[in-house]
Amino acid sequence: MKHWTTSSGYTIFRVLRFRSNAFLVTNGRNNLLVDSGTKRYRRQLLWSLAKLGVSHLDALILTHSHFDHAGNAHYIQNRFHTPVLIHSDEAGYLQNGQTPVPGGTMLLTRFLIRNFGNKVGSLMKFEPCEANQTFKTRLDLSKFGFKGYILPTPGHSQGSVSIVIDDDIVLAGDALFGVFPASVMPPYAQDKGLMIQSWKILLDTGAGSFFPAHGKPLTIKAIESCYNKNIRNITLNSQS
Ligand SMILES: [Zn+2]
Ligand SMILES: [Zn+2]
């Protein structure tokens, strides 16, 4: 299983890949699960946790309420008696098991949303889950045994957050995308401009590695060059 070690000796395991990534952050005693994947991949998630000998989870942190991240939240909450944490702007969607359809950030996805948005909406339903803790601003993770914090990085969705571990590794949810070769732009966003501003928030953390929930880890350089290109476009558009 792919894993990385931070400067304080925490290990981050990628416990789910395929449709979307989910990560386990562990210091050997405490375990945090970040995102939970879709119901379809529940068995793979459970298999990974069992293989690592994980029998308790101190928290499940959801980067946002889209079905490919929150799909197993209710199940994990019950099975492991785990508190579920989510930004307060996302808690209502989690409770309803449905996320509003985000806008497209590029020609193709704008076309898809315009023509098939309603259909997409019905495919994005998932098992509803009542959050145990919500937050609106930065949340420290020391009470869970980790040097780290949850950082609001809105734009992909209103309450999207990233998790900064050990000032070193960022689990960025869908604020960044690791699938396309020359861009970190996710194909969908509720507010593209806000999301681009969140990239600056991520760069300012001083972390060295950024793990999106889709695709491969990203370097500072990849995010910086995409940020510079897109922020220029926003400035030009606002001037014209
Ligand atoms: Zn998403
Ligand atoms: Zn996603």
Distance (Å) from CA 175 to ligand 1 centroid: 8
Distance (Å) from CA 187 to ligand 2 centroid: 10
Going by DSSP bridges, is the β-strand pair 188-189/103-104 parallel, antiparallel, or unpaired? antiparallel
Q: List Cβ<8 Å contacts ≥24 apart for 228-235.
A: 230/185, 230/196, 230/199, 231/196, 231/200, 234/193, 234/196
Q: How confident is the model at residue 111 (pLDDT cuts 50, 70, 90)?
A: confident
| pLDDT single digits (tens) 123-136 | 789 999 999 999 99
- Report how far residue 17's alpha carbon sits from residue 39's, in angstroms, rounded to the nearest whole number: 13
For the chain, list the domains and their CATH numbers: 3-239 (3.60.15.10)
Distance (Å) from CA 21 to ligand 1 centroid: 12
pLDDT number for residue 120:
66
Distance (Å) from CA 143 to ligand 2 centroid: 27
| pLDDT single digits (tens) 11-51 | 999 999 988 999 999 999 999 999 999 999 999 999 999 99
| pLDDT single digits (tens) 64-97 | 999 999 999 999 999 999 999 999 999 999 999 9
**Which of residues 116 and 129 earns the better pLDDT score?**
129
Distance (Å) from CA 67 to ligand 2 centroid: 8
pTM for this structure?
0.94
Question: Residue 19: nearest ligand to its CA?
Answer: 2
Q: Strands of 139-140's sheet, edge to edge?
A: 139-140, 148-152, 161-165, 169-173, 209-212
Distance of CA 181 to the CA centre of its chain: 20
Question: Residue 103: nearest ligand to its CA?
Answer: 1
- Report how far residue 29's alpha carbon sits from residue 185's, in angstroms, rounded to the nearest whole number: 36
State percent of the chain over pLDDT 70. Answer: 96
pLDDT number for residue 18:
83
Q: What six digits make up the tokens of 128?
A: 């509803």
